[in-house]
Amino acid sequence: MGKLREECGVFGIWGTPGRDVASAAYYGLFALQHRGQESAGIVVNDDGLFTDYKDVGLVNDVFTPQVLSGLGQGNMAVGHVRYGTTGNTDRANAQPIVVNHVKGRMALAHNGNLVNSYELRQELEMQGSIFHTTSDTEVISYIITKERLTAGSIEEAVNRTMDRIKGAYSMVLMSPAKLIAARDENGFRPLCFGQCADGSYVVASESCALDVCGAKFIRDIAPGEIVIFEKGGYRTIRDHCGKKPESFCVFEYIYFARPDSVINGCSVHEARLQAGRFLAQEHPVDADVVIGVPDSGLDAALGYSMESGIPYEIGFVKNKYIGRTFIAPGQKSRENKVKIKLNPIISVIKDKRVVVVDDSIVRGTTSARMVKVLREAGAKEVHMMVSAPPFINACYYGTDIDSQDMLIACNHTLEEIAEIIDVDTLGYLSLEHVKLLTGKDTGFCTGCFSSVYPTETPQETSKSRFEMKISEAKQEKLPL
């Protein structure tokens, strides 16, 4: 329904003896499911013996009890969930990727997008490398493997690789003897770690995955940091730390991350409440009730209510059985299509001046339908508040964007959008406030709102490369 998509979630566990690392990975990925619904994978490492399983589908569809028990016992595991595009899904692109190289095996799970993967890939192909997928992950695994030929250790190979790869990456990898987590110098994507009562270490994209494993949060991995979990505990390599200003993706707070996660010291729920408070300050309106669009608009709606004093109410019921596979056969009425997912509670809406809070407007069509549903339910006025600035630029760091042609804010003024979606007031969060969601401006990437990017962007060739990617994607397209 017109949302941006995060590319992935990663998970790793270094288990103490007796720990069921496969089950831990399962629960961790289940908690990270919102970061990717296309495919799921787990690799278990039993003293150098790797067992892996990955497939297209949700975590608990892919990992049936038999599959999970088939992964066996081990002392480490890494896992991955991958996002779902609208159309084709590709088993070949599922992660973690497992490779055999001269020094043994490696399993790699990665979240983010490189900005120089095209150049790196071309260079590797000129040396005779072959690629089975179109993913950055395979590029990264090649470079680590090449560096490993001369590096004294796997972590040294990762460290050298970080000199060469540019862009966004939060990755977890596993050699026969070590679990390694690394985050790019800008810190675009989240990555944190914690420890369980039994001594096991868990690393994950978000802290909510630590919670389900019973791991106590230790800290976020710093931008540019490499953390090595091995016999005897963990240590870090900080050669790439502090080299660049931090530029964490602010949309993680606004939409991607789970509200119960804590990132860079700030609760996602609190950041969203704050977004709502800022909205109330920026766009005060005279209204009877504040409602949020489930699920991601609820926190900001509550914040708006707190700041404005307008009562918070539950305005929509979301059908909890709706999944990504829901099909809408023979449905002509677009309003009904909204109602199938989100049905209004008439008694809350009828004859009221309603403030409705959502996290974003992408194409505008969903918003327009929702407003129509509210008006049919009897709303006297509809004031829409968006807990983010207008979304007008491409993202090069691991999210899935429609082309600019599709973005309503690229082609219309605020007034036009308000008219198109038929609201009495339309308020977006300001660029100034979005940087203060966590209380202080610690450095955020706001490229998609501001067009100011913290890294070089993919070079001139990027256009043809983009086109190539499309044709490659077509080539990759599996029938099903």
The pair of structure tokens assigned to 81 is 């969930």
Site string for its own copies, 74-93 (x = CB under 8 A): -----------------x--
432 binds its own copies (CB under 8 A): no
102 binds its own copies (CB under 8 A): yes
- Give min distance, CB of 33 to its own copies, in A: 4
**Environment class of residue 17 by beta-carbon count within 10 Å: exposed (0-12), middle (13-18) or buried (19+)?**
exposed
Do the Cβ atoms of 63 and 26 come closer than 8 Å? yes
Torsion angles phi and psi, residue 216, rounded to 5:
-85, 130
219 binds its own copies (CB under 8 A): no
By CB under 8 A, the count of residues binding its own copies is 102
* From 17, 47, 66, 403, residue interacting with its own copies (rule: CB under 8 A): 66
473 binds its own copies (CB under 8 A): no
DSSP string, 432-471: HHHTTTTSS---EE-HHHH---SSPPP-TTHHHHHHHHHH
CA distances from 39 to 82, 124, 401, 441 (A): 5, 27, 19, 35
DSSP state of 373: H
Residue 305's Cβ-side half-sphere holds a number of Cα atoms within 13 Å equal to: 18
Pairing of strands 342-344, 316-318: antiparallel
- Give min distance, CB of 91 to its own copies, in A: 8
110 binds its own copies (CB under 8 A): no
154 binds its own copies (CB under 8 A): no
* From 344, 364, 427, 458, residue interacting with its own copies (rule: CB under 8 A): 344
* From 129, 153, 236, 462, residue interacting with its own copies (rule: CB under 8 A): 129
- Give min distance, CB of 109 to its own copies, in A: 15
Binding residues for its own copies restricted to 222-281, rule: CB under 8 A: 258-260, 262, 267, 269-270
* From 242, 243, 346, 463, residue interacting with its own copies (rule: CB under 8 A): 346
- Give min distance, CB of 321 to its own copies, in A: 4
- Give min distance, CB of 298 to its own copies, in A: 6
Binding residues for its own copies restricted to 43-62, rule: CB under 8 A: 49-53, 58-60
The pair of structure tokens assigned to 109 is 């799970």
Distance, CA of 142 to CA of 117 (rounded, Å): 11
461 binds its own copies (CB under 8 A): no
16 binds its own copies (CB under 8 A): no
- For its own copies, the closer of residues 48 and 245 by Cβ is 48
H-run or E-run covering 264 = none
Question: Which residues, 6+ apart, have CB-to-CB distance to 127 below 8 Å?
Answer: none
Largest CA distance in the chain: 73
Binding residues for its own copies restricted to 382-421, rule: CB under 8 A: none
Tallying the residues shown for the chain, one arrives at 480
Binding residues for its own copies restricted to 314-343, rule: CB under 8 A: 314, 316-317, 319-321, 323, 325-327, 329-331, 333, 335-336, 339-340, 343
**Residues identified as active-site:** 8
27 binds its own copies (CB under 8 A): yes
146 binds its own copies (CB under 8 A): yes
Distance, CA of 303 to CA of 297 (rounded, Å): 10
